[in-house]
């Protein structure tokens, strides 16, 4: 498979999906619906962007499999799999906040090969290819040089079942917040990871994520010189990422299991 072709298509299709986002953004036809609960929502923009992305993939690469947030996994299995979040940061989007993105990852035999994250309102396009580095709008990026927690700004998020499950990340927030310069909650895991890769954030952790949230962003972190670890295995994808030193310091503070 031609990797440059895959990358160019992923970037082009991500920009198209971003244009779909912007056609709905701050409009009156969002069509907000609840999924798991009132904290887990989908909009008409999510669905329209997903239709566009899946349509392109099926037309261009009919033998590739697809995993997407709204449609789940395709029946086809093959060496190549597209892992897509058509709109990451839906709650932000529905509120008119600009931190939202489309995330497109391509795996080959289970390993991330290409990652593309596009934040259309901010016109920030991150991409990475295995072994070829990470980029923001075509310019190489790297993680920050921070090594001390007290100098770092880190981000986190909260699981959608935070209202009913006391294992909701608040214990980790209490452990980390006093030790860092700043703690942020941006609301898009894909952007959090890319911002770690670009050095805008020094670290990030979150629980109960899914492959479509992180497939592209984790490759950006790796190719930008960062590290990540799955610090729990009982809450879907629960990971910590950052500069090598900040990663290690955050990992030492995070709870490794439920405290119910």
**CATH code of residue 188:** 3.40.190.80
Q: Which residues of the chain have pLDDT under 50?
A: 260
- Compute the distance between CA of residue 190 and CA of residue 239 in angstroms, rounded to an integer: 13
For position 11, what pLDDT does the model report? 98
Same domain, 205 and 242: yes
Cβ contact 202:243 at 8 Å:
yes
DSSP SS3 for 34: strand
Same domain, 25 and 116: yes
CA nearest to 192, candidates 180, 205, 209: 205
For position 84, what pLDDT does the model report? 97
Cβ contact 24:57 at 8 Å:
no
Same domain, 158 and 70: no
In a domain, 63, yes or no: yes
Same domain, 93 and 169: no
Same domain, 222 and 125: no
Report the predicted TM-score, pTM, of the whole model to 2 decimal places: 0.94
Phi, psi of 135 (to 5 degrees): -145, 150
CA-to-CA dists, residue 51 to 24, 28, 57, 70, 74, angstroms? 15, 21, 10, 10, 13
Number of domains in the chain: 2
Same domain, 97 and 216: no
CATH of the domain at 97: 3.30.540.10
* Residue ranges making up the domain that contains 168: 149-253
For position 78, what pLDDT does the model report? 81
In a domain, 47, yes or no: yes
DSSP SS3 for 62: coil
- Compute the distance between CA of residue 88 and CA of residue 157 in angstroms, rounded to an integer: 13
For position 260, what pLDDT does the model report? 44
Same domain, 168 and 86: no
For position 31, what pLDDT does the model report? 82
């Amino acid at each position: 498979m031609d990797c440059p072709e895959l990358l160019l298509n992923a970037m082009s299709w991500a920009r198209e999906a971003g244009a779909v986002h912007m056609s709905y953004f701050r409009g009156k036809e969002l069509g907000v619906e609840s999924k798991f609960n009132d904290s887990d929502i989908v909009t008409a923009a999510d669905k329209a962007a997903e239709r566009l992305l899946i349509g392109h993939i099926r037309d261009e690469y009919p033998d590739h499999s697809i995993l997407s947030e709204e449609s789940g996994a395709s029946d086809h299995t093959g060496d190549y799999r597209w892992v897509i979040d058509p709109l990451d940061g839906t709650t932000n989007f529905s509120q008119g906040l600009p931190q939202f993105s489309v995330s497109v990852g391509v795996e080959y035999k289970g390993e991330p090969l290409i990652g593309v994250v596009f934040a259309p309102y901010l016109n920030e396009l991150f991409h990475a290819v295995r072994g070829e580095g990470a980029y923001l709008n075509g310019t190489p990026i790297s993680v920050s040089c921070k090594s001390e927690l007290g100098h770092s700004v880190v981000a986190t998020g909260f699981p959608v079942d935070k209202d009913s499950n006391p294992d909701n990340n608040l214990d980790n927030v209490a452990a980390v917040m006093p030790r860092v310069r700043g703690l942020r909650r941006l609301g898009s895991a894909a952007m959090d990871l890319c911002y770690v890769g670009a050095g805008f954030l020094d670290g990030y952790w979150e629980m109960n994520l899914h492959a479509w949230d992180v497939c592209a962003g984790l490759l950006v972190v790796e190719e930008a010189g960062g590290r990540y670890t799955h610090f729990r295995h009982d809450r879907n994808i629960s990971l910590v990422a950052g500069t090598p030193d900040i990663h290690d310091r955050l990992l030492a503070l995070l709870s490794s299991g439920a405290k119910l």
